[in-house]
Structure formats: structure tokens, C-alpha cells
Amino acid sequence: MVKIAVAGGTGSVASEVIEGLLARNKHQLVILTRSDKPSNVITHPDVSYVKVDYGDRASLVKALRGVHTVLSFIVVHLDPESASQKSLIDAAIEAGVKRFAPSEWGSNKVKEIPFYAEKETVREYLRQLNQEKKVIEYCLFQCGLFLNYLAFPYKTAKHFDPLPLQWDFQNCRGIVLEGREHLDGLTLTKVQDLANVVAEAVDFEGEWPTVGGIRGNQVTIEQILALGEKIRGKKFALESVRLEDVEAGTFETSWVPELNHPSIPKEMVPIFSKNTLKDGLIGLSKGVYTLPSDEWNQLLLSYKFTSIEEFLTEVWAGKP
């Protein structure tokens, strides 16, 4: 048994990872929170919540004493200059933490996605800290897109709520880039598989890889749509847009995946939704969601990932 600290541990992805760790019934978890009354509290005898101030180094060090592994889920685009994560890393080193996982949980390419840009700041910070000698073991857990998004509007995990993508299985339609159906395969990983891999990684006796690719599935857009048509039993209506129009923001479609979320003012939903679609399409053109490596697949050869066909069949077979 080891003690694990989870920063930003009340978010949906963090909560799924916590559930994966608790399923092993062997670790003690400390959830670091900024709030006196955190939301999404997981009640369990091996889980405790500690309020921290990321600007207070001494309190952070105190909270991390005796911790073996720190998993960070700090929201990077809400952390200017990565101040909170840098402070967390420094405190972890001072407290004698063995392993650190920065807030990744997605793509290996981040410069192409504006709200992921700060991830590169943290990566460089960790590289510099370990340049002369290793002061902390760390791994960039990267899993591509979550397969669970393809279930929208159905929820397929305890905590993770899917958002709509440009592949709409409910209404059998999609928005694609003109002439780019054969883009390099996307990496799609079920959020529960990510949670299980992290739990395996915590128990892993060897040294963590610096880059930790997790490939649940590697599929092309063409294959995703073909599976949709096979399982839904009907042809998908596709709308093509030119990349140059998307980049200019002048593209037009008959529909846009609508991102209704409590954090988005209702009057901003149309603008936010179209900008998100724009960023997503541009990201696809640059291979943002295609992982070049699968380090954890190779280290955990016996682990069986959920296949995209298995997942989509379970969600969509028989749906009207």
C-alpha cells in the first residue's frame, strides 16, 4: 500500500482515476482541493480531502509528507504560467515524493491547442529539473480522445459526462474535412481503461517511462463512420468543409455540436461551440489526436483495452 495525492481530484476524469485506484483496495488517497466544501466528494474509508493553497509552499509540503505518488489534474488553461503545477512539483520534491504525473490525460501535441499550451510549460519545467540528475520520477500519461465521447448523449462512466463531437451517432451524421478521410488513425481510449492503466502504473515496480502513451484504439475517421453505419443500420449524412475555410473561420455547416455546460453562459454557447468545432477540425488536420507511441501498452501486455466496436455496439445497438 502507498499513499497517493490527487491534485484537482474533484474533476470528472480525476474521479474516474480515483475509482480505478480504489477498486484495488490497497492504497490511501489524499485529494488536494482549494475548496472548504469540495463538490463530487467520493466517500470511502481510504479517501481524505485536504484543503491546500498552491501559493503556500509550506502547506503543500506538509500535505505531501509521506506521499509516494502525486497525480495532477489541475486545469491547465486556468493555471496562468503553470504557477500551481510548478508549486506542486517543487513541494513534491521537497516532501520526498517518488513519482509525479503532470496534468496531461490527452494528446501528446499541445502547442496546436490553445487551452493545452501550458502543458508544454510543465513538461519543460520537469525536463529542466531532471537535467543534471533525476530529482523526481515522472510520466506524461497520454491517451488521445476519450472513447466515451462517441456515446453522447448517453453516459457510460460513473463520473465522466460526454460532450458532443462532430461525429453524431444519435442523429447519424458527421462533419469531416474535405479530402482528409484517410488521416492518420485517431487514438481513442475509454476513460475507464485510462483509470485502470494508471492504477497498474502506480503498482508498476519498474521506472515510469517519461512519455506514457496509452492506445486503446487506433482508427481512422473513415473506420469510425463505417462502424457507425454498421451498428446504427443507416447511412450517415456527412458534410464536408475545406480546411482553409475552417482556419479562416468562414466555414458553414447545417449543424454544430452544441456544448451546453454550466460553465458556459447560454448566450455564448453558439460561439463557443463553433470555435470548439473549428479547433477540433484543425487539430485533426495536424494529427493532434494521434499518439505516436504506446509505452504503457508495451509495459502492460496482458491488459485488454475496450475496442471501439465493442464499445459502440454496447451503446448504440438497438437504439432508435
pLDDT digits (tens, 9 = 90+) for 143-181: 999 999 999 999 999 999 999 999 999 999 999 999 876
Mean pLDDT confidence for 106-133: 93
**Residue 114: per-residue pLDDT:** 81
**Residue 247: per-residue pLDDT:** 94
Instruction: Classify domain 145-189+217-290+301-316 at the CATH topology level.
Output: UDP-galactose 4-epimerase; domain 1 (3.90.25)
**Residue 39: per-residue pLDDT:** 82
**Residue 38: per-residue pLDDT:** 85
The contacts found for 34-41 with CB under 8 angstroms, 24 or more apart, are 35/10, 38/10, 39/10, 40/10, 40/11, 40/12, 40/15, 40/159, 41/10
**Residue 12: per-residue pLDDT:** 94
DSSP string, 130-199: TSSS-SSEE-EEE--EEGGGGGTTS--SSSPPP---SEETTTTEEEEETT-TTPSPEEEE-HHHHHHHHH
Mean pLDDT confidence for 86-93: 98
Nearest to 217, CA basis, from 149, 160, 154: 149
pLDDT of 23-49, one tens digit each?
Answer: 998 899 999 999 888 888 999 999 999
Q: Other C-beta atoms within 10 Å of 55: how many?
A: 10
Pairing of the two strands 137-138 and 167-168? unpaired
**Residue 181: per-residue pLDDT:** 61
Nearest to 212, CA basis, from 148, 146, 143, 145: 143
- Please provide the average confidence, as pLDDT, over all residues in the chain: 95
The angle, 0 to 180 degrees and rounded to 10, between the axes of the packed helices 118-129 and 83-95 is 30
pLDDT of 264-309, one tens digit each?
Answer: 889 999 999 999 999 999 988 889 999 999 999 999 999 999 999 9
Contact 44, 63 (CB under 8 A): no
**Residue 67: per-residue pLDDT:** 98
**Residue 139: per-residue pLDDT:** 98
* pTM recorded for the entire structure: 0.96
Asked if the domains at 3-138 and 145-189+217-290+301-316 fall in one CATH topology, the answer is no
**Residue 182: per-residue pLDDT:** 60
Could you state, in order of their start, the residue ranges of all structural domains in the chain? 3-138, 145-189+217-290+301-316
Give percent above pLDDT 90 in the chain. Answer: 88
Rg over alpha carbons for the chain, rounded to the nearest Å, is: 20
pLDDT of 242-268, one tens digit each?
Answer: 999 999 999 999 999 999 877 788 999
The domain defined by 3-138 carries CATH number 3.40.50.720: yes
Q: How far apart are CA 215 and CA 188, in angstroms?
A: 7
Pairing of the two strands 173-177 and 237-241? parallel
Mean pLDDT confidence for 126-146: 97
